[in-house]
Structure 1
Amino acid sequence: MSYREFNAFCAALPATTHVVQWGGAHVWKVGGKVFAIGGWQRGSHPGITFKVSDIGWEMLRDAPGCRPAPYLASRGMKWIQNHEPGLGKRELKQYLKASHALVAAGLSKKKRAELMLSE
């Protein structure tokens, strides 16, 4: 998945914002909280980092093309970084959507209502 595809997909998710920070990483947030990071270029595709559930963590942390996300996972957070030849586009999009949902679910009820995010 290219930066263009990554950014277009994340922009289509509800109530998202985009910022380029941390040395040029494409950072996507919902309600001010990060749910996806595109950065760490390897070959022609960026490394894409996203939050996962406990089950997703168990499935992906040792999967080919995936690894615990630097900095985040070392602090006990369940974040995965995907790089070539990791997940296919369809599967990666499903994980990005799930990451968005996990982060949105952690927002306060008031904040979710302000952003018009369903329960």
Structure 2
Amino acid sequence: MDRAGVGRVCLALPGATLDHPFGEHHDAYRIGGKMFAMVGEMGGISFKVSDIAYEVLTEEGRARPAPYLARAKWVNLERIDAWTNQELAEHLAIAHAIVASKLTKKQRAELGLS
């Protein structure tokens, strides 16, 4: 997958938006104003994972703790194409779901989420 592919996958998720809070070379994908994935200027990607996935992915060396976001259980891949397209797309959908689940009931309803 490439940067454009990440955009297609993320923006296809319900209520997802894109902005550039750290400059135009960083893509931040959000749901309800909360970030669930980010593509960096150097071609890496960071995204939210579950506590268990964080432990497994970082212990196995498949991902590293995301700079500045590791304490919130985010992982980082130095290259977007480090995983298969399907696997990355699945993790991005999970990241979206994790963050969406923490939105208020009202926010979820406004975004058309159950």
Once superposed, which parts of structure 1, at least 4 consecutive aligned residues long, lie more than 4 Å away?
none
Structure 1 segments unaligned to the other structure (5+ residues)? none
Contact preservation (8 Å) 1:66, 1:86: no
Greater RCO, CA 8 A, separation 6+: 2
In structure 2, give the amino acid aligned to 1:5: G
Encode CA deviations 1:61-103: one digit per residue, 9 max, x unaligned: 1344510000111xx2100011336322111111100000000
TM-score (normalised: structure 2): 0.90
Distance of 1:40 and 1:83 partners within structure 2: 11
Q: What is the aligned residue count? A: 112
Structure that is richer in helix per residue: 2
Q: Secondary structure at the match of 2:44?
A: strand
Partner of residue 20, structure 1: 20
Partner of residue 53, structure 1: 50
Identity %: 43
Partner of residue 77, structure 1: 72
Alignment root-mean-square deviation, CA: 1.4
| Greater CA drift, 11-20 or 58-67 | 58-67
In structure 2, give the amino acid aligned to 1:116: G
